[in-house]
Every structure is written in structure tokens, then in C-alpha cells.
A and B are shown apart, each in its own frame.
Chain A
Amino acid sequence: MNKKTFNLRSAAIAALCAVVLAGCATSGKRRVWSEPEPAVSSRPTPAPSPRPLEQGPIVERRGPQPGVQPAPDFPRNAEEVSGSAVTSLMRQARSALSAGQPAQAASSLERALRIEPRNYFVWSMLAKTYLAQNNYAQADSVAGKSNALAHGNVYVELENWRTIGAARQAQGDAAGAEAARERAQMLEQSLAERAPQ
């Protein structure tokens, strides 16, 4: 009960501050938190992307997470979030990958990661590159890394779960592959629901 009321209050503060920002600011009763550093900013809560820790049994949450609302403004492709150098390196990687040179592609993507280490589009493509090299364990891990950085970006997570599914399938992990496919399907569905009818 307490929890709920508190959430309600937080929401009320946020809403009110937005509406009567000036009033809030001059009321003199604005709350001042004494935390030593800025609070971690909240964001629309995406579906957590649980990854199996080590090689335990794969336990993944099934079904849609409560309150999952894919934000409509997730960047769809790397160009929207990457600098021009990284964009150019990703272009090189893409053409190397389609020319059947995954090692070349990986080399370009690693250069890109040195420039933007948290660019989840680059990690996502690196995962596909590992898949193309039949390095399934790394394809799985690197796609997971991309998910961890993706801020819940459905487009990227969808790609990553497909990669993970393919990697697990190729490793003979049928259950894991199935779980990944379900995640991918769930994300596809949420995208379809959002699409204008």
C-alpha cells in the first residue's frame, strides 16, 4: 500500500512540476534531497533483458512484462545515434560482412567500439559477425552485451534475440533457442501493436 501511494505521489509531483513549474519553483517548499550525487534518472521501464548468468539452466521471464510500453522514439538504426566516424566504420563492416569477410567486419566494428564503447548498434552487429564466423558462444554473449546497453530499444533487442536464438540453435541448445525465439516474437508483437493500423 505504502509503495503504491508513494508512486502516486512521485507521479503527482512530476505532473505538477511540469504543469506549474513556476509555482513549484517559487513555493519555497521544493524538496531538496541531500543525496551525494544526482539521482539516477528514471526512464520508461523496458522489459528487463535477463541473461542467463553462467551456464545455469536458462530461466527467462515469459510473457509481457507489466507496464511494458515500447517508447515510440527509439532510434531504429545506428546512424541516428552514432558519430560520422562510427557510421563510416559500420558501413565498412556491413559491406565486408556481405562480402563474406566477417573477420574484416569484426576488425572495423572493434575500431568503432573503441570510439563509442557503448554503442549498442555496433555490439549488435558484432554479434552477427560472430554468428557468421560460427562463434556461437560469442554471438550469444555479445548480443547480450548489446541488450544490456540498449536502454530497452525494441528494434535492437529484437535483432539481438534473433541472433541469440540462431546461436543457441546452432549450439544444439533447443530450449535456449526456443526461449530466445519467444522473446523475439514478443518484441515483434509489441512492435506490430504500435504500428499505425
Chain B
Amino acid sequence: MPRHRRFPFRTLLLSALILVLSVGLIAFSVYLLGLDREIRGRFAGVRWALPAQVYASPLELYAGLNLRETDLVHELGRLGYREDPHLSGTGTYQPTRGRIDIHVRPFQFWDGVQAEQTLAVSFDGGVIAAIQRVDRAESPEIVRLDPMLIGSIYPSHGEDRVLLRLSEVPALLPAGLVAVEDRHFRSHMGVSLRAILRASLANLRAGHVVQGGSTITQQLIKNFFLTSRQTWRRKADEALMALLLERHYSKDEILEAYLNEVHLGQDGNRAVHGFGLGAQFYFNKPVAELQPHEIALMVGLVKGTSFYNPRRHPDRVKERRDLVLAVFRDEGLIDEPTYQQALAAPLGVDAGRIGGAERYPGFVDLVKRQLRGQYHDEDLTDEGLRIFTTLNPRAQEALERNIVETLPELEKTRKLKPGTLEGAGVVTSAEGGEVLALVGGRDVRYAGYNRALDAQRPIGSLVKPFVYLTALERPGEFGLSTILPDEPIELRMPHGQLWSPNNYDKELHGPQPLFRALAQSLNLPTVHIGLQVGAEHVLRTLRRAGYDGDAQPLPSMFLGAVGIAPLKVAQMYATLAAGGFQAPLSAIREVQTKDGEPLTRFPIQVKQTLPDGPVYLVDWALRQVVAQGTGRGVYSTLPPDVVVAGKTGTTDDYRDSWFAGFSADHVAVVWVGRDDNQPTGLSGSSGALPIWARVMRDLNVQSFDPIEPGSVETVLVDIQSGLRADENCVDAVSVPYLRGWAPADWAPCANGPVNPLEWLRNIFG
């Protein structure tokens, strides 16, 4: 009976228990399935948002290139090549007298792969004499070095990485990582009870957490979900996910994911993830070229990137690195000589630059803006695009150095408060519209206000060439020797006030030939000419040169009361440099997918927007600016035989100091002023000019030597009268005119038409 009575109760209990268990099991299974879906989705789906990688233009090596041995060594250093007499791997070089041997890295360029190769580059007095392959009989005519990685476009949450495949990684890296972080990685199922027990024991003994029992799989999951909360629930989830992950993926897949996922450092708000970017960030080279001591350092970093920040705590990191090296040796991963060698090696962390790939924020800013029209933000931050830019690191260095060094000099000589001057500059190619260098402020590493793109400061006299160009397009009215009045002008403005411009020196100079008025940057003749051709037409010329702002056609424009950013000024002067052919400025050449498939090209585009003849005349006058006008100062820096053309610009009360000009191969624009728009006391000649001249000197520019168009003829002219001259005239100059419009009448100083026989007598008499 009692049994009979107890039976329903026990059955009930059992049933309930089974029910609860079943429900629990189902719930748990559902939960597991959820975790499974989550982890698989994370792992297999869009595994990583891959920031676009931004590359500088590659250095092309070919016989005849103006490049000194020291320049090439400098370039190789910048690319993270190291000196190695055996050229044992890619990214090594060996200089000997008159020759540099280089083991060039392979690289997937836009137009194909350039395989790794060993080259002998021989020099002859500052020029590359020959390039030969050491490892093969035939030699290439032209070889590209791999381009420098100059930045990446990472999303707002700041995760940046360079994707790696396990096969590209030196074997020591994964092996060493396993040895240090998770010795039983190859055998456990995702969770290691042994490790947990060992860690618990150690922690108990110490009284606090000294050791983690997490496997590499668990660490990967922890990294995936970006949380370091040490709750039991989180830990249980991690363990479960680790078990699930191991069921779906191979050990190598998990290890590869770990190599790409692990957090290795912080650079401002940019998080450095993965060993690919880590190698760039700390050692400025691809992961394949890491040496044992460098691998050990990075493996050691995994334990804690801020505690073991190699740039901040080098001693602490050295200790950790050596400990890791000892593990490598004990595990038989490296032999004793290698171990000893690695111990003796310095840390080798690239200290010259904070934030490895964030070197040229001003330029990368321009790249982003140019891409914004064509790509969605997510394309740029997630798809791992490879962006090949026009940046020329040598030009960029020259521009940065001369702005950074000259501004304090100016402050000192002008007794200005240190740090008050700001500067910006742009260097472009003379033909083809490539932006080679860009500086947005004197703090060149600061990714903030980009003055080269955004500071629309009045351009002052930089506008004058366009006023004169407008005039020279009317050959019946104006030629370079046309005599202009230098007289006071008063104008009633639309608002009723009187405008009475002055020359900068507040003096009157008497009638001047047109080209000299430009060379001396006289205001009154310019206003005179501007009024004659009309502000509408001047504005139209500015637009044809590349200006795209919304300035009003007012007379004040003739003296440069138009705010234009340095980059746009460079665009306008580049049109003058290229004989009237405008090439829209571009910072990008090509875009590739992450797998190296060509995606977009930004081809050279040209269009003749200004007529060749008048542009030739203005360019001639701009050479006079530098030869004898307000730009003379450039020859205290540039060699006298280098011909350049340019223009100074100064605004009211010396608030803005500009210089813009070009050689045969480069256009450069420099602005100096203050952010609060206060006067600096600097004119175009005293502020921006010295920077410009130094940049052009360092670029080793080619003389400006335009081709005279068929529409132009050159004749000898007497400067006093603006009429034809002959050998009797003292003040005679060869001046170009539009064909058929040269002065026909002879100057008083000339004898006029002479009997040829008498003339012969003169010569031989």
C-alpha cells in the first residue's frame, strides 16, 4: 500500500524532473544553436571590416634617373629595407661603392604583379647609370620599388588591420605564439581543463589573478566580441563558443583568424589589430620579413598592449621579449646561436614616427575626399581596397621640412611670438595634374584643420597673372610691352563707399610696360587694365584656369580680394604651367580590390581651357617676376641657371603671404599667415617665397622652358617706348607677341630701316 501510495508521487516527481530536464535541454540546445549561429556568422561571414590601404606612388628606377646613392638608401630606409650583405630575403639591400644591390619585394601593382628580384643599381655622379638583375641574365629597363603604405581608411570605431594569410607568415610566428600562449593548442578541443586547473592553482596560490587559462580559441572569441568583462556567464559562453568553433573550423583556420584579430596596440583612436598591421606599425615592414627578435616582441605584446607598449616602456618590453625568446629556444623553435643573436639585438621598433601608417594626414584627407564621390563609406572602411595615390614621399618630405623649419625662422627674425604663424603648401606635377605633396599646417602629423584644402584666404597679387592674361587675349589692345599708366584711381563701389587702391609701396612709378607692372606687382596699372577688360572677363579667366568658387565680379578682385584655398591656386597655376591645358588635380591613380583586381582608374585628363599664345606671354612675364621683380629672392636659394616662373601675393596689412610658381616639372604653392587672420608683417616675398624656393631647390627642379607656340613671334623691343628696337637701343628686350601683333613702329633709339649695305659697313667697319 505504501508503495502503491508513493508510486504516483515518485512518478510525478520523475516526470516533472524529466520534463524540466527536457525543457532545460531544449532551451540549452536553442541557446547553443544561437551561440553557434553567432560565432559562425562572425567567423565565416564578413569576417573583418578591412580598412582601405593607401599607398604612396612607387619609386621607379631606370637608367638616367637623377638619384644619388644616398637618396636611394634613404628611400629604402623609409620602406623598411634593411642592410644585409647576403641579401638573404626580400626587403634587404647592400650598398657598395657606386652601386647598391637590392632584394626587391614582390608587389601586386595595379597593372600586374612585379615578382621579387635582386637588382644591382649602379650610379654615375648622381644619376643611375644602369640597372641589372643579379639573379638572372636579362635586365629590365625599369623597375618599381614597392610603394610605401601611408595610411588606411578605418571606420569610426577605429579598428585597423592589414589582412594576412597563414602561408605568408614566417613559421616562427604561429609556432611561437602557440608555445607562449597555448602549448596544447593543437590537441585540445577549444577549452583546456589542464590549463584552467593550472591557472586556478596559480591564482589561488597568489591570492589574485596572475594567470589566465584561456586557450587561443577562447582568446579569439574574446577578441571577436570585444569585451573584457570577467563574468561567469561570459566565461561560460566563451567556453561553449570555443567548443563549437573547434567543431566547425580547422586549427589552422582558427590560428589564421587569431593572427588577424588580436589587438596589438593603440594609436590615438585607431586600434591596431593583427600581426599584418602590427609589423607595419612597429617595424615598418611586411610580416614576412620579421626577424626572430621582432617576432618575439610582438608575441610578447599579446599579453597586454598598454603594459607592454614598446614605445613607452622599452625596458619592460625587452625583458618580456627575452623571456619569449627563451621559450622559443626551450621549445626548439630557434637554435642557440639564433637565440644569442636575438638577445643581443635592440628592440628595433620604428620610433621615428608615431602611428606608423598615419604619416601624411593632410594628403590622406584629400584622398578620402576624392573617393567620397565614388565610394560609400563602408566600401572604404570594410572592403580592404588598395588605393594607389600620387603622393611622392620625396616631395612631401621637402615640403614638410621646409615649412616646419622656415616658420620658426620667420618668427624669430620678425620677432613674432613663436607658434603664431601657420603655413600650408601644395606641390603638383606640371603636366597631368598629380598632387605630389600636401601640407595642411605646420603640425604636419596632425589630422585636423587642413589649410591646404579649406583655408580660403584672399590670394592678393596671385590673381594678377589672370588679370593680365585676360588683357593679353586682346592683342589689338594689349601686348607685353604696352605702356600702362601708374596713376591714382578712385572708384565708387556699389555700396557707395569710395575705393582708392594704392601700390604696396604707396608710391607712383610713372608709366610702365605691362610686363614690368606684373613683375613689380604694381596695383594701379593692374586695376587700370582690369577696368578696361572688365571684372566679368577676369572672373571668366579665373574659371577657365580652374577656379570654381562663387566670387563676385567686382573691381576689388583685380587685386586678389578672392578667397581661394592653396590646392585650387595650385590648380590654376598648373594650367599656366601646362601652356593652357588644364588637368584636374587628382591624388589617386588607381583603386584595386583586396585581391588585386583592378577596380577604378583615375586617368590623366587634359583640356585646353586657356589659349596657348596668351598663356605663353603671361608665363614669360612670370619669369620676369623671378628674374627681376618681386620674386627675385628665389635666387638667393635656387641656382642661377634654373629658370622658374612665379608670383608673390600679399594681402592687406600683411595678413596673407603667398608664393605660387612653377618649373618645367613642378608647380608649388605656399601660404603663410595666421589662423586668427591677424597681420604677420610678412609680404609674399618675405614669408612664403623662401619656403617655396627651398622646396623647389630640394626637388631639384628642371628649368622652365616652354615651347613657343606657332601663334607667337618674338621681337626686340625698346622698353622705354614699347616700340621696336635695334642694336642701338640700350634698354632693349626680346619680347614675345601674338603673331602679327608685335609693334610695327621703330623706337626713337633705333635707326629704323637701314640700308643693308650701310649696315654691313657698320658691322665690319
Contact = CB atoms under 8 A, between A and B. Distances in A.
Nearest to A105: B111
B711 A53 contact: no
A108 B745 CA distance: 52
B28 interface: no
A148 B707 contact: yes
Contact of B709 (A1, A9, A48, A138): A48
B736 interface: yes
B714 A53 contact: no
Contacts of A62: none
A148 B711 contact: no
Nearest to B58: A111
Interface in A107-136: 107-108, 110-111, 113-115, 117-118, 126
Interface string A69-95: 000000000000001110111000000
Contacts of B707: 118, 148-149, 151
B579 interface: yes
Contact of B716 (A33, A45, A51, A142): A33
Interface string A160-175: 0000000000000000
A31 B140 CA distance: 51
B194 interface: no
A117 to B, nearest CB: 4
Nearest to B624: A36
Contacts of B627: 36-37
Contacts of A31: 727
B606 A88 contact: no
Contacts of B716: 33, 35
A138 B434 CA distance: 17
Contacts of A111: 60, 142
Nearest to B609: A54
Contacts of B745: 2
A85 B64 contact: yes
Given A2-B752, A36-B627, A54-B609, A83 B64 contact: yes
A181 interface: no
Interface residues of A, number: 61
Contact of A35 (B603, B733, B764): B733
B64 A118 contact: no
B141 A88 contact: yes
B733 A36 contact: yes
Interface residues of B, number: 69
Q: Name the residue among A27, A42, A107, A144 with the largest chain B CB count within 10 angstroms.
A: A107
A152 B731 contact: no
Contact of B431 (A23, A84, A118): A118
B724 interface: yes
A85 B62 contact: yes
A21 interface: no
A107 to B, nearest CB: 5
Contact of A107 (B110, B628, B708, B760): B110
A42 B714 CA distance: 8
Given A2-B752, A85-B141, A54 B544 contact: yes
A108 B730 CA distance: 52
B1 interface: no
A128 B608 CA distance: 18
B753 interface: yes
A1 to B, nearest CB: 7
A186 interface: no
B44 interface: no
Given A35-B732, A151-B707, A107 B756 contact: no
A151 B628 CA distance: 29
A143 to B, nearest CB: 10
A53 B611 contact: yes
A144 B710 contact: no
A87 to B, nearest CB: 7
B249 interface: no
Contacts of A35: 716, 732-734
B589 interface: yes
B141 A84 contact: yes
B589 A110 contact: yes
Interface in B713-765: 714, 716, 724, 726-727, 730-734, 736, 739, 744-746, 752-754, 756, 759-760, 762-765
Contacts of B610: 53
A40 interface: yes
Interface in B377-435: 429-432, 434
A89 B111 CA distance: 12
A50 interface: yes
Sorted nearest first, the 5 A-B pairs with minimum C-beta distance are: A48-B710, A85-B62, A88-B141, A31-B727, A39-B734
Interface of A: 1-3, 5-6, 8-9, 12, 16, 23-24, 27, 29, 31, 33-37, 39-40, 42-43, 45-51, 53-54, 83-85, 87-89, 103-104, 106-108, 110-111, 113-115, 117-118, 126, 137-138, 141-142, 144-145, 148-149, 151-152
Interface of B: 60, 62-65, 110-111, 140-142, 429-432, 434, 544, 579, 581, 589-590, 598, 601, 603-612, 623-624, 627-628, 643, 664-665, 707-711, 714, 716, 724, 726-727, 730-734, 736, 739, 744-746, 752-754, 756, 759-760, 762-765
13 contacts: A2-B752, A9-B754, A24-B763, A33-B732, A36-B627, A40-B714, A54-B544, A85-B63, A113-B431, A113-B432, A117-B665, A126-B604, A137-B607
Given A33-B727, A36-B733, 5 more contacts: A2-B745, A2-B752, A110-B589, A141-B606, A148-B709
